Amino acid sequence: ALKDNTVIIVLGASGDLAQKKTFPALFTLFRQGYLPKGVHIVGYARTKMDLPEFHRRQTVYIKNKDDPEIKKKLDEFSALSTYVAGAYDQDAAFQQLTKHLEEIEGTYGAAEANRVFYMALPPSVFTTVAQHLRSNCYSTKGHNRIIIEKPFGKDLDSCREMMSALKAVWTEDETYRIDHYLGKEMVKNLLVLRFGNTALTPSWDKNSIANVQITFKEPFGTEGRGGYFDEFGIIRDILQNHLLQVLSILTMERPVSFSAEDIRDEKVKVLRAIPPVAREDTLLGQYVGANGKPGYLEDDTVPKGSTCPTFAATTLWIHNPRWEGVPFILRAGKAVNEAKVEIRIQYKEVTQGIFKDISRNELVIRIQPNEAVYIKLNLKTPGMATRAMPTEMDLTYKRRFTDAVIPEAYEALILDAIHGDHSNFVRDDELDVAWKIWTPLLHWIDGREGSPPKPEPYPYGSRGPKQLDAYIAKYGYKRTDRT
């Protein structure tokens, strides 16, 4: 019951991330009864606004606001949400915030009061805000937690610099680094799927698996967000963090327990066995205008002549006994033909002899949309003939779990942070080794070693550069009859 008294402080409360992700997630948690009983929400940002305006902004992206049940809950949610305007770099402003927090906490009486600081802020102010919070807003009446999200630097050195500045003020235990892919249901499912199924576990290695693809596809381009994107590019935006996290859970050894440290120990171990990504194993692309949609370089927010990749396919290798020689193809593209994130594990060929041209097995884990796990198996064609045919064993969630409510990533993660569970947050050493894998390649792409490589053009709405199929085939992927 003591834990019930928690104030969640959203820094950057007037910004995009807060409006699109943080507040809707908090609201859903509240509506479903997951937030602590004594919860309060305090927004903090530079913009001056009155309370009704803050409440309006808090609910911009909340759906079905006309539904009476939602409306009622929204009123309750607003009633416990307040706002403080202030600068990001002045002690006096943060002391105002503290005063406000103490007023709220006064209503808790002598009981414990916890503070969870959610940084929905641009990276340029992360460090300053974290320092000011620590020196002005740190509670001695309960625990303090800080939630931050990428970008954590741009390469190994800048990440280390930022981490050490943050570590000087907030301990590892107090810090929750979000990679929102770790909050996705199908990513969390990997632990159970892998380690809870004897049918799968023994074949989870180089003896049975030929290649693995982890693919991220988004059907829209930068569309006005080019300023941010161009500074980072698709590798820093998606592969370095989201796809690598998926890879580490997919390939790690079985953790000793479900504890956060045991899980993260195994993730770090497998990541350390991956050498930096080689240029030769990389295919870069940039979308060009097509079908009435503008190309990347036609986005006004993108610098003229930018060679920033909006598509990348890279192949990673894991040097350990389980995975030696298995290619892991990580690829991501903006402005491609569909929205899809999936893991595709292709098994080795059946020994030929009695069969010819029999399809390989594939296990596909579709992370989004339309969550599914399906495995392609060969069956005898029903009837008199003795021919094999490829078919699927299909666990599409919508059909299988008709009533299940699948939480949004941010909902799951915010709740974990409130409960003090670090399992699905990125540990400092994990971040460090992740940057080691990508930094040399990124420096080359950034043009630090001579002229930057020129990305291959691909039309907006296509599958990616025309070299893609040949690229995948080079690493041994064989198209099966049904894809």
Question: Least distance in Å: CB of 115 to ligand BG6?
Answer: 26
Give residues 124-143 in contact with ligand BG6 (rule: CB under 6 A).
none
CA distances from 224 to 303, 314, 471 (A): 12, 27, 31
State in angstroms the smallest separation of the CB of 122 from ligand BG6: 12
**Given the complex with ligand BG6, which of 341 and 445 has the nearer CB atom?**
341
- The first and second tokens of residue 126, run together, are 């992360």
Taking the C-alpha atoms of residue 279 and residue 282, their distance in angstroms, rounded to an integer, is 5
Q: How far is CA 458 from CA 312, 358, 455, in A?
A: 12, 33, 9
Q: Which of 55, 180, 242, 422 is catalytic?
A: 242
The residue (of 237 and 416) whose beta carbon lies closer to ligand BG6 is 237
CA distance linking residue 444 with residue 100, whole number of Å: 48
Site string for ligand BG6, 201-230 (x = CB under 6 A): -----------------x------------
C-alpha neighbours within 13 Å on the C-beta side of residue 418: 27
Per CB under 6 A, the list member of 105, 155, 237, 266 interacting with ligand BG6 is: 237
Torsion angle (degrees, nearest 10) of CA 277, 347, 430, 34:
140
* x/- map, 161-200, ligand BG6, by CB under 6 A: -------------------x--------------------
Considering the rule CB under 6 A, would residue 430 count as an interface residue with ligand BG6?
no
Note if 242 is an active site residue: yes
The residue of the chain with the least Cβ separation from ligand BG6 equals: 237
**Strand 282-288 relative to strand 311-316: parallel, antiparallel, unpaired?**
antiparallel
Comparison of 326 and 437: residue with beta carbon closer to ligand BG6: 437
Total residues interacting with ligand BG6, rule: CB under 6 A: 4
Query: Binding marks (x or -) toward ligand BG6, 329..368, rule CB under 6 A?
Result: ------------x---------------------------
Contacting residues toward ligand BG6, per CB under 6 A? 180, 218, 237, 341
Question: Hey, which residues are catalytic here?
Answer: 242
